[in-house]
Amino acid sequence: MREWWVQVGLLAVPLLAAYLHIPPPQLSPALHSWKSSGKFFTYKGLRIFYQDSVGVVGSPEIVVLLHGFPTSSYDWYKIWEGLTLRFHRVIALDFLGFGFSDKPRPHHYSIFEQASIVEALLRHLGLQSRRINLLSHDYGDTVAQELLYRFKQNRSGRLTIKSLCLSNGGIFPETHRPLLLQKLLKDGGMLSPILTRLMNFFVFSRGLTPVFGPYTRPSESELWDMWAGIRNNDGNLVIDSLLQYINQRKKFRRRWVGALASVSIPIHFIYGPLDPVNPYPEFLELYSLFSLSWLSVYMCHSTCSTVYRKTLPRSTVSILDDHISHYPQLEDPMGFLNAYMGFINSF
């Protein structure tokens, strides 16, 4: 019996070693093209990937896109062309620890650092004095909130924000419902590094798919693109560190939620109502409490139309079709783009 277990052990060791050293998947042609068309800049010795497209000639408008967790700037590819038809510059980056950007470890990842990276990118591009439209999703919403806080405090080096559009992000910690896997990785202690090493495409895809609507789930090839972005530069090994943003949201709630109150710029929120991470209607009910001057809510199908208006800051909300969930820009790109253009053209 002892010899049998020894044999199993001797076989398991090389198999586990081989599993832990499975190389990241090759980039699909589309994802490879996305990387090839992008650029890198250096922030404190770290390489940050970004896209910068020139769109409408003669327009002064600039939009900066801030992606969510755990994916990358590639989340915006379905609406990218549409944005270039309206804006002169369309800019997106992979946050530190995401996509094609560097993923140092060990490293203390923070929302504050990501906001500083956005500011550094705009300085690198010579746009630090321009008025910027921010469009964000999920994790990017919290980065946008920090940028908004710095803007309101007139911090040195801060962006000058013209407008802000958020989408399906946990801007209120009390209504945010992280997935079970996120909880395990975030608060797993010594277990977290083991889980990140054991994570594979099967675990990832089964964990991410439920945050999409039942009729708008990504194809297997789309999931592989997301996984390839995560595995690039061994990004799966820093997921537990990146997830500390959830705890940061709780710790700095007053700073980041407070940034949304009493603002002088137009703010919009595009919402996929089937989102299990930011559930309806609790999220919108709380959001309305922080909209202090006026709030317009739109129901968006093929087009957006006002269904009711409250005089409640210069905030509007677009609610997409009821089968759209946590990734509205991927699940309903046309509805998302229509909602955003309606907002941008309203001021």
Q: What is the pLDDT of residue 23?
A: 79
Contact 172, 286 (CB under 8 A): yes
The secondary structure of 264-314 as a DSSP string is SS-EEEEE-TT-SSS-TTHHHHHHHHT--SEEEEEEESSSEEEEEEE---E
On the CB side of 130, how many CA atoms lie within 13 Å of its CA?
19
- Predicted confidence at residue 12, as pLDDT, reads 43
Greatest alpha-carbon span in the chain: 79
The tokens for 316 are: 């509007």
**pLDDT recorded at residue 195:** 84
Q: Would you state the pLDDT for residue 205?
A: 95
Note down pLDDT in tens along the chain; length 347 residues: 455 554 444 444 444 444 455 778 999 999 999 999 999 999 999 999 999 999 888 889 999 999 999 999 999 999 999 999 999 999 999 999 999 999 999 999 999 999 999 999 999 999 999 999 999 999 999 999 999 999 999 877 789 999 999 999 999 999 999 887 788 788 877 788 888 888 899 999 999 999 999 999 999 999 999 999 999 999 999 999 999 999 999 999 999 999 998 788 999 999 999 999 999 888 888 887 766 444 555 556 544 543 333 333 468 899 999 999 999 999 999 999 999 999 999 98
Q: Is 140 exposed, middle or buried (0-12, 13-18, 19+ CB in 10 A)?
A: buried
Take residue 31 and report the two structure tokens written for it. 């994802």
pLDDT at position 295 is: 54
Cα dihedral 180→181→187→193 (10° resolution): 160
Contacts 24+ apart (CB under 8 A), 339-342: 339/268, 339/270, 339/298, 339/300, 339/304, 340/79, 340/135, 340/165, 340/268, 340/270, 341/82, 341/86, 342/298, 342/304, 342/318
* C-alpha span between 151 and 168 (Å, rounded): 22
Q: Which of 270, 266, 267, 289 is nearest to 278 (CA)?
A: 270
CA distance 101 to 121: 13
Say how far apart CA 92 and CA 87 lie, in whole Å.
13
Structural tokens at position 87: 């804006």
Q: What is the model's pLDDT at position 185?
A: 83
The whole-model pTM stands at: 0.90
Query: pLDDT at position 3, please?
Result: 59
